[in-house]
Each structure stands twice: as C-alpha cells, then as structure tokens.
Amino acid sequence: MKLDTSGLQSFVPLSAPIDDLCPDLSAPPTFDLPRSADFDGFQKDAIQMVKPAKGTTTLAFIFKEGVIVAADSRASMGGYISSQTVKKIIEINPYMIGTMAGGAADCQFWHRNLGIKCRLHELANKRRISVAGASKLLANILYSYRGMGLSVGTMIAGWDETGAGLYYVDSEGGRLKGTRFSVGSGSPYAYGVLDNGYRYDMSIEEAAELARRAIYHATFRDAASGGVASVYYVGPSGWKKLSGDDVGELHFRYYPVAPNPTEQEMAEVSPA
C-alpha cells in the first residue's frame, strides 16, 4: 500500500531514468506504509514517540531593518538531555531560513525538501520564490500528512520583493502570517520578554540583543530549553548569523555574582 503523494509533485519534468541507479526525480517520492495488523495503534505509538519533542524555544520577529530569528540548541528526550548543540535554525537558501521545533528529523527533512522546491521554482520561473509562496508550499505538504504523526512547528523567515516576510507553519496544517512569533515549550517566557522590549524601529544590534535576552530568559525558566542562543538576521542581502552565545555564560553576564560580604570569619587563635 503506497501513500498518495501527488502533493509532492515537482514542477519540471525531467528525462526518463536510465537505470535503477538514478531514481526518477520527476515522480513524486513515495513512502511505504507499515504492514501491521493494527495500523491505527502503530500510528498512535509512532506519534507518541515524537510527541514530547517540542521542548525548545524559537522566536522570530520583523522590524524596520528586516527579520531577526533566534533559537536555543537543546534536544531533550523526556528528562534526559540528548544534546546541547542542535542546530535549530535551518538555512533553506541564501535569503530564507526556517526554525525547528518538534521532531528534529521531520523539520530537517521537510525544510530541505522545501529548499529543493524553491530552487526548482527559481529555475522554472527565472525568479526567486516569495516567502509567502515558500511557506504555502510547506503548509500544503504538511496538511496532506495531517494526522499521520509529523511534528513540525516552524517559522519561515525571509526577504523577497515585498520586503521582510515571516510565516508560522505547523504540522496541523496551520499557516499564519505575522510580525512576532515564538514556538516551543519555552515560548511563553520568550513572549514575555519579546513583547515587553519590542519596538518596530530598532537597530540591528538592539533587535539581536532583544532576541538573545528573550531566548536566555526562556532557557532559564524552561527545563527543556538551553545550550546556545543563536541569533540570525535576514535582510535585503540574505541571512547572516549574528551570534551564538552559551546560555550558561549569558546568565552570569546579565546577573554577575556579587561577592558575599563575610558575616563571621574564623581567625587563627594564637597559642596562648
């Protein structure tokens, strides 16, 4: 039983494959479905395996100069920290980036797939795809897999002819256009700091510092977020990584430890 993946159809038909070694790129990629007696139960188990994984903090906002995108770098499996150095900001192409929240494999695969689609669009139409178009492509793909256990909570941020673009796309099939988003278990804490400090006309440094601070506060309060706070900027000339600060060090930079005044000090007693 093969899954219907006509939603994944490429735009440009290529010449027929020569042999088994080079796969037919124009045919939609197909996924084998498991042959188990209890298909729904298998689905449920698969979904439960990925479910706890939205432990993360990612945020993005549009301001006067472009888009700032920031994320932490912790991957947690239940209580165990499996990695503190996960790349959660995925570069789709030189002027568009996406954030990862949810299943790591799902996000990595579908972002790369989106990158392929965007490049094919460029080649077919001789112009870059808009952020709205790219996010719509991804949203439609995710919608066709709705209910199958994909876990993706991503923001697509980029720069196109209309200026800065920011869309939130998730595996339930939702797609929202907006100016400020935060996704993940640490998002309530990040929203608090972000909403408080946000102004449309900030400089790039101020905006980056706001994003860094918001991620730091989320990692402090949320157990499932931590590691390194990465900040990216997307402007007219594409994206640029601004900083990657270890959150453990950021804490002591923002709140330096004051030396405790000694209350009682033991002194050597001179032999009487």
Partner 1 sequence: MSIFEYNGSALVAMVGKNCFAIASDRRLGVQLQTIATDFQRIFKIHDKLYIGLSGLATDVQTLYQRLAFRHKLYQLREERDMKPETFASLVSALLYEKRFGPYFCQPVIAGLGDDNVPFICTMDCLGAKELAKDFVVSGTASESLYGACESMYKPNMEPEELFETISQALLSSIDRDCLSGWGGHVFVVTPTEVQERTLKGRMD
Interface pick for partner 1 out of 99, 171, 225, 230 (rule CB under 8 A) = 225
What's at 50, amino acid-wise? V
Residue 43 within binding range of partner 1, rule CB under 8 A: no
Does the protein bind partner 1 through residue 247 (CB under 8 A)? yes
Active site residue 56: yes
Q: 3-state DSSP call for residue 10?
A: coil
Identity of the residue, 123 or 223, whose beta carbon is nearer to partner 1 in the bound complex: 223
Binding piece for partner 1, criterion CB under 8 A, among 19-27, 30-38, 142-150, 221-229: 221-229
Distance of CA 192 to the CA centre of its chain: 19
C-alpha torsion 151→91→210→163, nearest 10:
-110
Q: Which of residues 66-105 bind partner 1 (CB under 8 A)?
A: 72, 74, 76, 78-81, 84
Selected range binding partner 1 among 1-9, 128-136, 193-201, 225-233, rule: CB under 8 A: 225-233
- State the DSSP code for 83: E
Find tokens 């150095």 and name the residue.
85
- Applying CB under 8 A, among 96, 152, 155, 224 the residue interacting with partner 1 is 224
Can you say whether residue 29 is alpha, beta or left, with left for phi > 0 and alpha for psi between -120 and 50 degrees?
beta
| CB 122 within 8 Å of CB 128 | yes
Written as six digits, the tokens of 1 are: 């039983």
Report, as residue numbers or ranges, the catalytic residues: 56
- Contacts with partner 1, residue ranges (CB under 8 A): 55, 72, 74, 76, 78-81, 84, 185, 219-227, 247-248, 251-252, 257
